[in-house]
């Protein structure tokens, strides 16, 4: 990470608090605090039981021999890396570096047992909740982050174009998911940003369906909810396809109408996503549109939020952005726009793109 980018991020975190430092501590994989990567931008390594201490102008990282070289590759003049291998070494290091400081921690992540262990090293024998400052900083992406998210989106879009070649009668959801995962890696992804969702026909009515051995048939609906991760940053896209549609069939006509309604809802949502707008209002307007479409036949069939933040985590800092919760949308935010209609036992449609708020309005990446 370039030094000026790190300093800008530290300034965003500390400008509204009187904390002297913030301690981030990783547990065992997969319980790794994503704020650790926000402050280090390390692109390789797992960093289990490693920690970072953020100060107003620099970051200290403590890690074991296992990850030390990975950390050194990503360090710079404002990121110092130390070999810390044993529990006693961790205790001694934190005792020396946190003494007499007002220290924050990520309440949304650090297990209580570690809070109890580490608080004795800080001023007042207390750690202060710094989650708000970390997530507020991460909600507004810098140019460096936006470039990475765009790259992740490009990888997923290219892979979605290519996967359609593998839509063949008899292929299973699992097989198609495996093929998609390969395509993303081939196209430049470091890994998936979450488990690939592939659903056929009635399974498309389950938003978080796990791919199974259901086989693809003619006149089927195919839903793929996918994401890649590139240099720590995520994409999240969903597409719904028709495989060898029988356009005169009642099933196709019904699903095509659902698709048309969802597509219009997504366009409506994009137009409403603007700097200064309350995300709750966007969600409510899109929900109202779906509930009243075609005489209200889809009322209650949109069963999740319209969008979430996207960044280092696929459901990034603050998570829900377009939901029942009030969130002031701002330039620099990246969020999903993903309306859906789900009819259990029949099928569903979801269309999802990633949106950057730039110049006062939302634009698809």
- CATH number of residue 46's parent domain: 3.40.350.10
Residues of the domain holding 117 = 3-139
How far is Cα 22 from Cα 14, in angstroms, rounded to an integer? 9
Looking at the fold, whether 209 and 337 belong to one and the same domain comes out as yes
Looking at the fold, whether 134 and 149 belong to one and the same domain comes out as no
> Which residue, chain included where needed, has tokens 């001694």?
92
Looking at the fold, whether 242 and 301 belong to one and the same domain comes out as yes
Looking at the fold, whether 130 and 155 belong to one and the same domain comes out as no
Strand positions, DSSP E, 56-181:
59-63, 79-83, 103-105, 127-129
- Are 86 and 66 spatial neighbours (Cβ–Cβ below 8 Å)? no
Looking at the fold, whether 106 and 152 belong to one and the same domain comes out as no
Looking at the fold, whether 245 and 298 belong to one and the same domain comes out as yes
Looking at the fold, whether 167 and 64 belong to one and the same domain comes out as no
Domain C-terminal end among 120, 139, 158: 139
Domain C-terminal end among 89, 117, 139: 139
Looking at the fold, whether 162 and 224 belong to one and the same domain comes out as yes
Domain count, the chain: 2
The one-digit pLDDT tens for each residue of the chain (365 residues) are 778 899 999 999 999 999 999 999 999 888 899 999 999 999 889 999 999 999 999 999 999 999 999 999 988 889 999 999 999 999 999 999 999 999 999 999 998 998 998 999 998 889 999 999 999 999 999 999 999 999 999 999 999 999 999 999 999 999 999 999 999 999 999 999 999 999 999 999 999 999 999 999 999 999 999 999 999 999 999 999 999 999 999 999 999 999 999 999 999 999 999 999 999 999 999 999 999 999 999 999 999 999 999 999 999 986 789 999 999 999 999 999 999 999 999 999 999 999 999 999 999 99
């Amino acid at each position: 990470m370039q030094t000026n980018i790190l300093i800008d991020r530290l300034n965003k975190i500390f400008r509204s608090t009187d904390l002297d430092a913030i301690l981030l501590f990783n547990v065992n994989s997969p319980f790794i605090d994503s704020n650790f990567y926000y402050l280090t931008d390390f692109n390789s390594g797992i960093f289990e039981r490693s920690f970072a201490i953020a100060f107003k102008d620099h970051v200290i990282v403590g890690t074991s021999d296992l990850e030390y070289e990975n950390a050194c590759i990503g360090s710079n003049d404002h990121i110092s890396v130390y070999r810390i291998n044993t529990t006693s070494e961790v205790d001694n290091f934190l005792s020396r570096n946190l003494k007499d400081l007002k220290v924050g921690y990520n309440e949304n992540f650090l297990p209580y047992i570690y809070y109890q262990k580490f608080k004795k090293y800080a001023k007042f024998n207390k750690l202060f909740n710094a989650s708000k400052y970390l997530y507020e900083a991460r909600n507004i992406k810098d140019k460096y982050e936006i470039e990475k998210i765009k790259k992740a989106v490009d990888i997923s879009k290219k892979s979605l174009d290519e996967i359609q070649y593998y839509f063949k009668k008899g292929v299973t959801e699992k097989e198609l998911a495996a093929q998609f995962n390969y395509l993303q890696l081939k196209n430049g992804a470091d890994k998936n940003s979450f488990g690939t969702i592939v659903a056929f026909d009635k399974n498309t009515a389950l938003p978080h369906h796990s791919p199974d051995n259901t086989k693809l048939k003619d006149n089927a609906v195919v839903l793929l909810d996918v994401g890649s991760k590139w240099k720590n940053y995520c994409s999240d896209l969903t597409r719904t396809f028709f495989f060898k549609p029988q356009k005169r069939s009642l099933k196709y006509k019904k699903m095509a109408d659902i698709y048309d309604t969802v597509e219009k809802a997504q366009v409506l949502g994009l137009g409403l996503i603007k700097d200064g707008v309350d995300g709750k209002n966007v969600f409510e307007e899109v929900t109202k549109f779906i509930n009243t479409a075609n005489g209200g036949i889809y009322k209650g069939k949109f069963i999740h939020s319209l969008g979430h933040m996207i960044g280092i985590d696929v459901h990034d800092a603050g998570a829900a952005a377009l939901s029942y919760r009030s969130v002031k949308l701002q330039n620099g935010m990246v969020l999903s726009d993903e309306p859906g209609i789900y009819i259990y036992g029949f099928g569903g449609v979801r269309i999802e793109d990633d949106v950057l708020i730039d110049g006062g309005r939302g634009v698809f990446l």
